[in-house]
Amino acid sequence: MGAEMPPLRLTIALVAVFPLFSCATLRPGEAQLAKSHETDNPRRLVTLNADDFERARGILPIADDLSLVSEDEEARTVTALTFAVQAEWLRTAGIKVLEERTQIPRDLIDDSYQARRGLPPVRDERGRLRTDDGYHDAAMVEALLRAFAEDCPEITRLYEIGRSWQGRPVLAMLITDHPDIQEDEPALLFNGAHHGSELLSVEPVLDIIEQLARGYEEGDERVRRWVEGHEIWCVPVVNPDGLDRHWHVTSSSGRNNCRDLDGDGEVGEREGVDLNRNYPFLWGEGGKGASNGEPHEPNHRGPSPGSEPETQAMMDLADAQRFVLGVSYHTAATSLLVPYTIDKALSPHPSAAWAMARELVPLMDSDRATPYRARRHLYAVDGTDQDWHMFAHGTEAFLLELPLHNPDYEQRRNPIVDGARPLWQSLLDRIGRGPTISGHVRDAVTGEPLEAAVSLDEIQWFHGEVHTAHPETGRFDRILPATGVYHVRASHPGHHTVVVEVEVGEEQRFVDIALPPLGAPSD
């Protein structure tokens, strides 16, 4: 059979699959137009007999509309990337399509990724690592983190804080001036890709690492102050399985992790757990639509609070570090979400997070007509990471919804990441700038640090929150909503409770509290 097709049969096929074209034949220019309308003419993976592949490329007016993906020499078949209309055209021309799949991995349609895959991390003309070379899969992120750890051993350490369902490492990079020592410093957390399909959410976290490494090397005074005065933890990919699935299985999936919910040995497109509905605080209590308890449904919250290994890794890290501030990056609503975000949760009063949000939002540039705005949430949620961090450790934990979902990297990545940069920079300044109360709680007799509960009488909490000092150093840091007089209350089992009055202006005030053991005289 030649390349010419029966006009009547072709018309019927095209109207059924792609209503945009109603003419009797699809001319070469129209085939290109069809390719540009991917919402109407989505991509397909097709399997053909090997002998039919070249003939099929000859039939299509644009040969690149059928791109080789893989060959099975034993079965003598070829898998190729094409479009729905073009696949139907091949059938009409007498080419047998053995299989047609709608699940298309992102790696097949991202030319930048194809050009960079398997190569070492990119460096600039001075040999410094760059992170703005394109969207990254889990392997690329790991390679970057290991390269930074090798390049900057004086200020970085790379930790595997857990493993995903499919055995991939959840990696956290610590940036500080003495990375091998548990220093007496406030800790901050920045993370991305709770939802693996949100590729853009990885980029600000990689940018933080690059900016701190480069600035420290260049002697930037502000960067050196941050690195020398804080423990900065960066987890670019919380959900490595979801990220890998989006890149290498199907670009229509990857939001959730890869828990096999039905136990059949495969992870279907609607399987997995939404990690940002899996944290224990008010898990499953957010009301209609906040999360879903049924497997295979959107926003599935998992079988139990904190059930997922990725969630557990982040919680264990927080329990060990007692983060003062944090940001979780997502896409794509141009919003700074302020805890508590769950409808049933009553935020502390007055709220330091909201006081900060009002200062932070004007500093950022969304690179869009719509500016960033501070919000409680976008819709009903529960089991979120930022709310759990605040509940468990008093962390002023924000969630930044970046302006777009995986936009064109070359055109939009740097303006969006640069525009969001003032958020993390301002948070690193905020603790020392004040108003803040920092200090230590120790045993009055032995001088040993105590993991004491530390609260401020002037701030009300409504869910039984108990926030303790760091177990190894006894340190606490409390961001304040405003200047004024505060009463710091410290308590610990087997000790007398002590309350200290502190007047705080636009500054960081330090106060050390000694708790007398019961039976010893108290002040």
> How many residues are listed for the chain in this entry?
523
pLDDT exceeds 60 at position 171: yes
Q: What angle do CA 147, 314, 331 make, to 5 degrees?
A: 80
Measured CA to CA, the distance from residue 175 to residue 487 in angstroms comes to 33
Fold of 7-102: Alpha-Beta Plaits (3.30.70)
Whether residue 55 contacts residue 95, with contact meaning beta carbons closer than 8 Å, is answered with: yes
Report pLDDT digits (tens) over 109-157: 999 999 999 999 999 999 999 999 999 999 999 999 999 999 999 999 9
| H or E element at residue 453 | strand 453-456
Whether residue 192 contacts residue 201, with contact meaning beta carbons closer than 8 Å, is answered with: yes
Beta strand 436-443 pairing with 508-515:
parallel
Cis peptide before 139 (omega within 30 of 0): no
Whether residue 398 contacts residue 422, with contact meaning beta carbons closer than 8 Å, is answered with: no
Beta strand 156-163 pairing with 169-175:
antiparallel
Q: Give the homologous superfamily in CATH for domain 111-433.
A: Zn peptidases (3.40.630.10)
Question: Could you give the percent of the chain with pLDDT greater than 90?
Answer: 86
β-pair partners for 156: 175
CATH 3.40.630.10 in the chain: give the residue spans. 111-433
Q: How many CB atoms are located within 10 Å of the residue 206 CB?
A: 25
Q: What is the maximum alpha-carbon separation in the chain? A: 102
The residues, ordered by sequence, that sit 6+ positions from 316 with a Cβ below 8 Å of its Cβ are: 161, 162
Q: Residue 193: which region, alpha, beta or left (left: phi > 0; alpha: psi -120 to 50)?
A: left
CATH 3.30.70 in the chain: give the residue spans. 7-102
**The token pair that represents 495 in the structure block:** 């000790």
Report pLDDT digits (tens) over 360-396: 999 999 999 999 999 999 999 999 999 999 999 999 9
pLDDT exceeds 60 at position 6: no
Report pLDDT digits (tens) over 237-258: 999 999 999 999 999 999 999 9
CATH 2.60.40.1120 in the chain: give the residue spans. 436-515
- pLDDT reported for residue 170: 98
Measured CA to CA, the distance from residue 172 to residue 162 in angstroms comes to 9
Measured CA to CA, the distance from residue 344 to residue 381 in angstroms comes to 10
Which amino acid is located at 373 in the chain?
A: R
Whether residue 507 contacts residue 501, with contact meaning beta carbons closer than 8 Å, is answered with: no
Residue whose entry in the numeric block shows the structure tokens 């939802």: 195
Which amino acid is located at 463 in the chain?
A: H
Mean pLDDT of 96-110: 94
**CATH 3.30.530.20 corresponds to the domain 436-515:** no
